[in-house]
Chain A
Amino acid sequence: MKTFLDFEKPVAELENRIAELRSAAEGDDVDISNELQRLELKSADLLRNTYCNLTPWQKTQVARHPLRPHFRDYVEQIFDDFMPLGGDRTYGEDEAILGGFAKLNGRRVMLIGHEKGNDTKSRIRHNFGMGKPEGYRKAIRLMEMAGRFGLPVVTLVDTSGAFPGIEAEERGQAEAIARSTEACLALPVPMVATIVGEGGSGGAVALASAERVLMLEHAVYSVISPEGCASILWRTAEKAPDAAEAMKITAQQLAQLNVIDRIIEEPVGGAHRDPAGAASALGQAIGEELDALVGKPADELRRIREDRFLAIGTN
């Protein structure tokens, strides 16, 4: 079943009409192919126009779309031989953050990312992509190993934020995030991070402090969720669309602020309409970025990474 977002209603209505026409014409002799073709073109146009002009709040909806491809979908589509590695060796295994060895077009990499899940059962298993300290500590462990064995690190960031809970606090959520950020910065190997859906605050930065940060066209990346920002500054979460606008959270805005380096175009109508197309664009982009970095000495990689963050706010 297709899920339509509020702002997609006109597209949905057109698509319904096309479907109705098609079923009405079935077995009928009347030739409606011209009319159908006209409507389909119109519908495609409408979709393209809608997605060219998404507001930051609409992009937030797209980035959170239940059918948007997640970590495991991308693993299936573009990575080969994914070998997941588990546990932080201290407390447990957190399935909100997955990681392991993988191949991208023959390149050996350490792949790490958030997984939100795609149905009730898997969403609960992956805690909706909200990492706990043990998840970030697993990421640290994998990054350190990648550094020792010369494996470039590829991360796919997709989280509304790190998990806010009693146990997460007790086990040092803040420290785990800080150390994970530090582990990114310390890597002697190339690191390419991509915000594929939601880049939510510290929980995202912990896996995105890379020398190359990419974003899918309709992904969002922000210091706090629009709802959270609205409820603090406007005193009501209903102002989330205004907060989304004010914070500058879209890939296009962040590229202008030099916070991200590259925007990966999504298929018309968003990644959820053509997950395979989105995945192939993502794989292509990560591959190109890795190729440009591989072979650089560790010191140079660290310097590029450090300069990138030190410069933010001065340029």
Chain B
Amino acid sequence: MLRDKLASYKNLLDALAAAQPEQPFASMWLPNREPELQEVTFGEFLNLANSYAWLYRERGLKCQDTVVLVMNQSIAQMAAFAGALLTGIVPTILAYPTFKVDPQKYRSGLSGVTANLKAALVVLDPEFPEELAQYVASTQTVRFDPFETGHEVPKIEWSTPQAHDVAFIQHSAGTTGLQKGVALSHGAVLTQLVHLADAIKLQPSDRIASWLPLYHDMGLIACFILPLVAHLPVAMESPTDWVLWPVSFLKLVTTHRSTICWWPNFTYQFMARRVREEDREGLDLSSLRAVINCSEPVRAQSMDEFHRAYQAYGFSRAALHSSYAMAENTFAVTQSVIDSQTGPLTVYVDRETVGLPGALTTVAADDPRAQSFVSSGPCLEENQVRIVDDNGQDLPEKVVGEILIQSDSLFSGYYNRPDLTAGALRNGWYWTKDRGFKVGADLFVLGRKDDLIIIGGKNIYPIDIEEIAWADHRVRAGRAIAFGVDNADLGTQELFVVAEVLEESYLAEGPDIQLNIRRSIVNELGIAPRIVQVVPPKWIVKSTAGKPARSSSREKFFREFAEFEPKR
């Protein structure tokens, strides 16, 4: 039903105009404010958006100018985004600095991104650090809070965009300096939402809950733009508040009777392990009909752990779902079948065949060699996936190759980066650099092609090595990287592992840590690493999504340990 309503809109503003003013829209949990729960109806939200639209006009911005938003997660941030849409100005959201951020790195990243965007205005919130603001490359910077303007602003005339006009820019996850902007048209966004609504069987009774940042496609498209356009309520909190008190998200779900949320894979285990039993009292998760695992390779054990922890609180196994999504496709490419009572398809393959040429061999779930892979589901309508080899030849099912996608919501290029676009878009297909395989209509995603390590003809996924390194209690979980280095003499790659210790004092135990990691890798995978290097805390370069950035860390490694630089 909602699918047809979304399909009737010509642009995003048609959808905003059709909203009932008194209908509830956003509820934001703000624990340090009074009241703690800030709530706005669609009418109130559009009034706030109008304040920003007025600001943009006052500052002389024109249709299709770019405005960059660097603000704490808030309803004001969302209104600043919507205000730009109203006036035909192109908004984009960048990550907000935390107190842990390295100022030098943040300055460099922010300056580069805002310069590339040719931003006409950068909007900061009142708390944005002054020492960082001076590095914003823009003609104008403004701090603005629509709740504190204290005066009425005239109603701004809305623009009348065409379907092909750029609506906004979203950034793919990556280190700040290398983030790639994706310009999305009104038509592409609406098309994506129509297919997504269809795939998740979106109903007028649905209610979304989110702790995700709005600079990430999952937070922006699924948890802000979708409810905005489909006129659904969304309950939100900031990632910072969630990480400090994870049960708060489950309380939001309980209070708002939320039905759908999207999470990256690690969230399932975090929620299961970091919420005290006594704090679970009173939770009711029976309203959740889809908790969609997205943006990381989907792991069965993570989802199982969450289900075990919360089934006593009404959480249904049938609510476990998965999706494959990316900013370049606006959002989702695949979605597991919502009506299934068993969750996404899981296949078990002989781990000995993973990484070898040819088809994976399936085995029984209880086979000692079984390695599980969870499907990200079949394609959304008008989305296609191909699995190809390095020459672009299509591969049969169960054979791992690069995932190519084509859809009617695909991006047309990276913003102001034709150099990057040429390599990614070829003959109408987006080459994702993700590795995966298909079984029937289901897509299974394994990881990144460009991080893949090939030693002696065997493909090795870095995550498998890194998890072994994390198992050493002196190595910080999530802070080890593995990469392959070509050795011309051997005609193959060698394995390098860099492991970050929990604290400086562990550096003294470096030789023992190296030995332990080496021994574990050999024991588990039969591969002897060339180098295991132990490094101090905070050494590994992280992406804005908080994940280890392997390529940046690798470059840093060869800068600091030049003696290991491969011969050319």
Are the chains A and B members of one assembly? no
